[in-house]
Amino acid sequence: MGGAFSLGRIFGIQFRIHYSWFIIFVLITFSLSWQYFPYAYPGWSAPVYWLTGIATSLLFFTSVVAHELAHSLVGRANGIPVRSITLFIFGGVAHMTREATRHGAEFRMALAGPLASLAIGGLFFLLYLMLQGISEPAAALAFWLAQINVVLALFNLIPGFPLDGGRIFRSLLWRFSGNYQRATRIAVEVGRGVGYLFVAGGIVLMFLYPGRWFNGLWLAFIGLFLSYVATASYRQAQWQAALQGIRVADVMATTCPAVSPDMTISRVVQDYIFISGHRCFLVAADGELKGILTLRNIKSVDRKNWDNTSVGDVMTHSERLKVAQPDEEVLSVLEQMEEYGISQMPVVSEGRITGLLDRDDVLRLLYTRSRLGI
């Protein structure tokens, strides 16, 4: 997911926050500090409302991370590598390098998150019982977190793909039909239906209860998001099926221009871009990869300085590059490209350049195969 930054690792899994997360964090904090706690617990001072609201919001998102971490750890135990967990405006998502290959693995992985949320909700409820009579703000914090974690678990169990309930539903369809693609198609259609119901419910809420227009708008927005993600998930499943077994070496371009780091930008533009329309160049010296030059690199230089600026001055150096191996699966490399927001990846074997994988080339392959019905 582009626009996210890393905060470190949890159990070896990269933890990332998307910039959109700050929007929902602020909204929840304001809602708790200005509305929920003042209404439910009058008499506190303003600093107590705000401190309790901030602490509650942070612990809520910690619970979301724990929910996704449960998915990730169970997935990893079932042989599904997990690259990262990202918090964003709609909660959290675990980035798996591939989908489950067995219905049982998907069932266990999908169920792990809601079970974790129910367990966390139970722990906060016990904490609430212990804190009653000791600290009202702390008890209020624990009670809200107990409720919201149960709600989170129940919401995720709705059988709308790609929610956890939708994945559980797909795993059961897969189990009894034996057909992964058919199970995915049915689960996605149900997921779209759930999304449309959320949109309809949000619209009804806005018109029947004008005072809750924001809740209705938010519900409709979630429904649109679920419908979009369900469609995107089905498209991804189709791509995965089409790319199954295809290696990087089968798709990479072996005729990608390699330029010297000493070549000027002006010469690259005149000798390669104007003539052949190439958009990306490997930078090499004596067959060894030194970096990569893209149109973005070139456009960062004022045109009047092209004659005295070398490729080596503006290229992305090899130390900062993500590289692929010829025997890697194309799908896995595409997922890495998506995560890091890049469109090309050099292919290197034993330290030497063997080609370049371009996302557009892979998409053209998928389009051609879909036109042929394969």
Looking at 3-102, list the stretches that DSSP marks H as alpha helix, in order from N- to C-terminal side: 21-30, 37-40, 46-77
The single residue of 68, 106, 329, 335 carrying the catalytic annotation is 68
3-class DSSP string for 240-282? HHHHCCCEHHHHCECCCCEECCCCEHHHHHHHHHHHHCCCEEE
Query: Can 68 be counted among the known catalytic residues?
Result: yes
Contact in structure between 13 and 85 (CB atoms under 8 Å)? yes
In 3D space, the residue among 95, 111, 113, 94 whose CA is nearest the CA of residue 103 turns out to be 111
Neighbouring residues of 2: CB distance < 8 A, sequence distance ≥ 6: 338, 341
Q: Side chain identity at 74, as an amino acid letter?
A: V
Kindly tell me the burial class for residue 51, based on how many C-beta atoms sit within 10 Å of its own C-beta (0-12, 13-18, 19 or more).
Answer: middle
Q: How far apart are CA 348 and CA 352, in angstroms?
A: 5
Q: What is the DSSP letter of 264?
A: B
Phi-psi map region of 42: left, alpha, beta (phi>0 left; psi -120 to 50 alpha):
beta
Distance CA 310, CA 326 (A): 30
Tokens of 57: 């919001």
Determine the Cα–Cα distance for residues 301 and 19; give it in Å rounded to an integer.
28
| Contacts for 338 with CB less than 8 Å, ≥ 6 apart | 1, 2
CB 161 within 8 A of CB 233: yes
Tokens at 253, concatenated: 């371009």
Sheet holding 13-18, edge to edge: 4-10, 13-18, 82-88, 91-96
In this structure, which amino acid lies at residue 28?
A: I
The residues annotated with a catalytic role in the active site are 68
